Structure 1
Amino acid sequence: MLTADNQIVITPDTWIISDTHFFHENIGRYCNRPENWQELIFKNWNELISPNETVLHLGDFALGKKNNFDLLISMLNGRLFLIQGNHDRLSQTYCETHGVTLIKDSIQIELEDRLKLIFSHRPIVPLEEGWINLHGHIHNVPPPPEGSNLGPYHINMSVEVKEYRPWRLKDIISHLL
């Protein structure tokens, strides 16, 4: 769902994913991904997400040339909102001309007046009491310094730890309610 100014409205049905790293040649070795990891993510994404649904990507969508980005956007279902990760290099204008909303900072929301959620690329440390942080960046490797103090309210959405697929927000948080 979008507001009149093309901003994301996050609902329990919003799809969440992070760190796909499409066209990143070394990520397979770095994170011990299966050989067919790109095809696996494509397949899972398009089997789960319909063209009209909202996808919030928590950063590090793709590397490489602009035509790689264009190809991905034409092949993947859903309306993409991308929180800029450390490997996302395209400009906001370029993304928007291709139907993608690039978000420079984290997003904070209160969902159904009971859950306070922060969506970010890097884990938020320290995390204020009462907040839940859905993030990426740390993949499935030992966490960098910013990940060393992660607690039960940090939810890593990197594809390596989430079955190489997007997840509906309601399914992610159902065990927290």
Structure 2
Amino acid sequence: MLYFIADTHFYHENILNLSRYRFKFFERVILQKLCRLPKEAVLFHLGDFTWHFNDFKGYLELWSRLPFEKYLVLGNHDRRPERLSRYFKKVLGEYALLRLDGLKILLSHYPALDPVTDRYPEKQEKVRELYFKHGCGLLVHGHVHRNEEGIRCGCAGVGVSCFNANVEWNGYGPVSLRRVLGL
């Protein structure tokens, strides 16, 4: 079974000041929920995995002991791919394409349109380009954090069907492919 997660932000302590939806030890909640996945699971992390690699609380060690396959799509905070590869079966780059029973799913940290901030417009444009070029039916992304306005993204406004896998929108845990597809 496939699962998706984004924006774990391990060790990003300033995120508590940036988002009122984060709380002390949010990392523990994320890891507890990940521990419930079956060992046959395949997890796609859609970016912003960790702020640094000084694992003084053991979060990264716990992550590396999770028994299932883990893949990373790079986000804007994933600046050291060579160090990240230790924690994933494969680092896929900034974008990846899944083909499942005729459905093409684009994986990206970035949405097709982020109406909350004006950061990374070139990444959003690339998402739109890839989505339409490959005839995708779904984009699974992260990046847009929970906000006062309740805006998950602006993808529908540019004709892109999507699911935001940011942990803040999903109970601080992974989401199954079934949930992403609305089944």
Q: What TM bracket, shorter-length normalisation?
A: 0.7 to 0.9
1:172 has 2:180 as partner: yes
Deviation digits for residues 128-167 of structure 1, max 9, x if unmatched?
3753111001111379xxx5x4217121110000110001
Aligned to 2:70: 80
Give the distance between the partners of 1:163 and 1:60, measured in 2 at CA.
17
Give the distance between the partners of 2:87 and 2:168, measured in 1 at CA.
27
Structure-2 change in CA distance of 1:138 and 1:85 (3 Å)? same
1:135 has 2:124 as partner: no
CA contact 1:44–1:165 (8 Å) conserved in 2: yes
Consecutive unaligned residues of structure 2, counting only runs of 5 or more, are: 114-127
1:40 has 2:29 as partner: yes
Partner secondary structure for residue 168 of structure 2? helix
Give the letter aligned to residue 120 of structure 1. Answer: S
Q: What's the RMSD between the two structures over aligned residues?
A: 2.6
Aligned to 1:3: none
Matched residues, number: 156
Q: CA deviation at 1:174?
A: 2.8
Deviant stretches of 4+, over 4 Å: 66-70
Partner secondary structure for residue 107 of structure 1? strand
- Equivalent of residue 150 in structure 1, options 146, 155, 162: 155
Give the letter aligned to residue 166 of structure 1. Answer: P
1:161 has 2:151 as partner: no
Give the distance between the partners of 2:71 and 2:136, measured in 1 at CA.
25
Aligned to 2:120: none
Q: CA deviation at 1:67?
A: 4.3
- Given the two structures, how large is their TM-score scaled by the length of structure 2? 0.73
Structure-2 change in CA distance of 1:104 and 1:135 (3 Å)? same
Amino-acid identity (%): 26
Give the letter aligned to residue 176 of structure 2. Answer: R
Give the distance between the partners of 2:16 and 2:71, measured in 1 at CA.
24
Q: CA deviation at 1:70?
A: 4.7
Aligned to 1:59: 47
Give the distance between the partners of 2:14 and 2:86, measured in 1 at CA.
29
1:31 has 2:19 as partner: yes
Structure-2 change in CA distance of 1:131 and 1:98 (3 Å)? closer
Aligned to 1:103: 92
Partner secondary structure for residue 118 of structure 1? strand
